[in-house]
Amino acid sequence: MTSSRQPDILISEVGPRDGLQSVKATMATADKCRWIDALVAAGLREIEVASFVPAHLLPQMADAADVVRHALQHRGVTVMALVPNLRGAQAALRAGAQKLTMPVSASAAHSLANVRKTPDAMVEEVRAVLRLRDDIAPGVRVEAGVSTAFGCTLQGHVPEDDVVRLAVQLAEAGADEVGLSDTTGMGNPAQTRRLFSRLFSSIGARTGAAHLHNTRGLGLANALAAYEAGVRTFDSSLGGLGGCPYAPGASGNVVTEDLVFMFEAMGLSTGVDLNRLMAARAPLQAGLPGEPLYGMTPEAGLPKGWRVGAAP
């Protein structure tokens, strides 16, 4: 996409990582690559393409290095990878990932179940990854995503003070960006606005992305609340890929198509072409036959006279 100005909103597509690791089937590497090509063609400029975790834990991500190397052929796109620890970061940097994201859970129960480490131990892991980055890949940005920031299925309520304290620790450790993730889709708009406002007043420009799930149908409402609090980077996944197996009919991540529609309809530019974005569902479906996709905009189509970036 060539544009005379920077888009107002950065959409960070997480489908190839968050979406694919939540579905049972494993997408073939060639299909993943075709899908990523279509996402790039739609104008997405940041794509989380893989997760560097042991293949026996997540066979869907066994080809992470190959997928990163393929995505790197596209210029103007930030190729992002999730890494849970130093070992994952070593592999991701070796493959050439341009930005890393590390999940750090605000819920001790979730953190222990997920990575068998306390939140404090995870802050140390982030520090270790930052040192590695400084040594071998100083141009790579490292984001820490505070997961279960809005509630946890194991712990239940997650105190906002715990979330903010952890975010400050991560910023002080040197993370370039600290985002908040509604891992379990428990957040609401008032909470989202309050938490991100507190984040901006605590860590300022290091405030990172809003990673929201649509589990209870509040994904877009929460995204708007985050926008109003000052957030300009949003994670989402094409077709809302990654529906929760325990909540039939509930989609996983916020649907990229609907999120782009909302912002563009509000007169905010995303740099994404909605028609091409919806066309990117075809390679996704070809690679994962039978997997349900979500989203209202693809079903309804674009309104008559739709013009991308139409100012109000």
Q: Which residues are catalytic, by number?
A: 244
| Shorter beta-carbon distance to Zn ion: residue 34 or 210 | 210
Least separation in angstroms between CB 66 and Zn ion: 23
CA distance 232 to 227: 6
Pick the stretch among 4-12, 13-21, 51-59, 295-303 that binds Zn ion (CB under 5 A): 13-21
| Shorter beta-carbon distance to Zn ion: residue 98 or 215 | 215
Q: Among 18, 46, 257, 258, which residue sits at the site for Zn ion (rule: CB under 5 A)?
A: 18
Pick the stretch among 18-26, 190-198, 222-230, 286-294 that binds Zn ion (CB under 5 A): 18-26
Of 36, 29, 135, the residue nearest 89 (C-alpha)? 135
| Shorter beta-carbon distance to Zn ion: residue 48 or 63 | 48
CA distance 49 to 238: 13
Per-residue interface string for the shown chain with Zn ion, residues 266-295, x marking contact by CB under 5 A? ------------------------------
Least separation in angstroms between CB 18 and Zn ion: 4
Helix axes 219-229, 189-203, angle to 10 degrees: 30
The count of residues in the chain is: 312
| Shorter beta-carbon distance to Zn ion: residue 18 or 143 | 18
| Shorter beta-carbon distance to Zn ion: residue 233 or 264 | 233
46 binds Zn ion (CB under 5 A): no
C-alpha dihedral sign at 17, 309, 40, 98: negative
CA distance 301 to 113: 41
Window 60-89: residues binding Zn ion (CB under 5 A): none
Least separation in angstroms between CB 22 and Zn ion: 8
Least separation in angstroms between CB 73 and Zn ion: 26
Least separation in angstroms between CB 33 and Zn ion: 22
* Ranges of H-type helices in the chain: 20-22, 29-41, 64-71, 86-95, 108-115, 119-136, 160-173, 189-203, 219-229, 256-265, 274-279, 281-287, 297-300
| Shorter beta-carbon distance to Zn ion: residue 34 or 239 | 239
| Residue whose entry in the numeric block shows the structure tokens 């100012």 | 311
Pick the stretch among 14-22, 34-42, 224-232, 256-264 that binds Zn ion (CB under 5 A): 14-22
Tell me the C-alpha to C-alpha distance, in Å, between residue 187 and each of 41, 54, 214: 32, 30, 9
Of 214, 266, 203, 205, the residue nearest 236 (C-alpha)? 214
Residue 10 corresponds to which tokens in the numbers above?
A: 């950065």
Tell me the C-alpha to C-alpha distance, in Å, between residue 176 and each of 101, 168, 181, 206: 10, 12, 16, 6
Contact of 145 with 101, CB cutoff 8 Å: yes
Pick the stretch among 11-19, 63-71, 83-91, 256-264 that binds Zn ion (CB under 5 A): 11-19
| Shorter beta-carbon distance to Zn ion: residue 34 or 144 | 144
Least separation in angstroms between CB 219 and Zn ion: 11
Q: Tell me the number of residues near Zn ion by CB under 5 A.
A: 1
**Nearest residue to Zn ion, using CB?**
18
Contact residues for Zn ion, defined by CB under 5 A:
18
